[in-house]
Amino acid sequence: MKTLILRTIAPYLSALMMIFSVFVLLRGHNDPGGGFIGGLLAASAFAIYGIASGVASARRAMRFHPMAIAGSGLAMSVLAGLASILFGVPFMTGLWAPPIPGIEFELSSVLFFDIGVYLVVLGAITSVALALEERDDE
């Protein structure tokens, strides 16, 4: 994009959105938010970054191919569901770590499942968006 303003502000904006998306993901279990919406936020962050600074820089910033990120997210969700087998309970039963005193946050297999959702949404949508942003002469 040619506008200097967007190109200048986009990296900061995207970074802010990424942080916010993780925040939304993690608070999801108790307050509005969650993996899906977090993933959408993160995908928009990359979309904006791609529009402003170019698809190549966006891809560099992601380090991995977005589809690989989506794939690992799906794998993570399935594994989080399978973890219950180790404890002899049915597939996808939520497993919760004992609470640590003084910390409100609870670690659980459900959280990993949600992170998987986040990664799938992030990866799938970003890869589509970036592919569309890519010009023919690249």
Q: Which two tokens stand for residue 124?
A: 């799938």
Token look-up 């891809």 returns 59
Q: Measured at the alpha carbon of residue 61, what is the angle toward residues 1 and 124, in degrees to the nearest 5?
A: 85
How far is residue 13's CA from residue 8's CA, in Å, rounded to a whole number?
9
Closest CA to 21 of 117, 109, 134, 97: 117
Residue of 19, 23, 64, 96 interacting with other proteins (CB under 8 A) = 96
One character per residue 2-21, x = contact with other proteins (rule: CB under 8 A): x----x--------------
Among 10, 18, 55, 83, interactor with other proteins by CB under 8 A = 55
What is the closest distance, in whole angstroms, from the C-beta atom of residue 99 to other proteins in the complex? 9
- Dig out the tokens for 47 from the structure: 């979309």
For the bound state, the minimum distance from the C-beta of residue 36 to other proteins, rounded and expressed in Å, comes to: 7
Give the one residue of 14, 18, 81, 83 binding other proteins; rule: CB under 8 A: 81
Give the shortest CB-134-to-other proteins separation in angstroms: 7
Distance from C-alpha of 89 to C-alpha of 78, rounded to nearest angstrom: 15
Question: Could you give phi then psi for residue 32, rounded to 5 degrees?
Answer: -50, 135
Interacting residues toward other proteins by CB under 8 A: 1-2, 7, 28-37, 40-41, 43-44, 47, 51, 53-57, 67, 70-71, 73-74, 77-78, 81, 91-92, 94, 96, 106, 108, 110, 113-114, 116-117, 120-121, 123-125, 127-129, 131-138
